[in-house]
Amino acid sequence: MSDLPETDSRPVIVAFGDSLTAGAGVPADGNYPAKLQARIDAAGYRYRVINAGVNGETSAQGLSRTPSIVVLHPVIAIVEFGANDGLRGMPAEATAQNLLDIVSSLQSTGARVVLAGMQIPPNYGLQYTGAFRSIFPVVAKKQKAALIPFFLEGVGGRPSLNQEDGIHPTSEGYDIVVENVWKALQPLL
């Protein structure tokens, strides 16, 4: 018998994103990737979810990190970027191009992609918020990726489901986020 630990041979699902994926401010078992793993296990599917979220990251930073995700050989990648771009007022066209490049890179390795839609507060103006919101369905359609219409649906703007910063979900908020993700993910499992 070998003293080496067994390798986890389950197919990989990578949760690739910013602090909303990393789970800023909640315990490790309270973020959405951990809760998604529990949901997958409970449903009897055999996948391993890897949390590849980094606090504060923009879509450009995510794009530069994509090669490190590709080497994980994910069968599915859940791409959640854009919130930091929007909150910093970055041009919607640049965010869209970064997301197209991320999705394309992942798909070129055979990974199926789920793109998480994002919205920003209305105080950024009707023109910018509309352009920003349209990024995600346009990229998903162009790349034939699954789409979560709004990652924070049912959570965003609800103080009881968000931490004091009003941006990051609580562990309870992540329960709802997992349901949003599950709707797009389950057909791919």
* Per-residue tokens: 42: 């409970």
Looking at domain 12-188, its CATH class is alpha beta
DSSP-derived pairing of the beta strands 112-116 and 74-80: parallel
160 is catalytic: no
pLDDT at 60: 98
73 is catalytic: no
41 is catalytic: no
pLDDT at 1: 46
Cβ pair 50, 72 in contact under 8 A: yes
Domain ranges of the chain: 12-188
Cβ pair 14, 32 in contact under 8 A: no
pLDDT at 2: 47
pTM > 0.85: yes
Segment (H or E) for 19: helix 19-22
- Catalytic option among 9, 108, 160, 165: 165
Written as tens digits, the pLDDT of the chain (189 aa) is 445 556 889 999 999 999 999 999 999 999 999 999 999 999 999 999 999 999 999 999 999 999 999 999 999 999 999 999 999 999 999 999 999 999 999 999 999 999 999 999 888 999 999 999 999 999 999 999 999 999 999 999 999 999 999 999 999 999 999 999 999 999 999
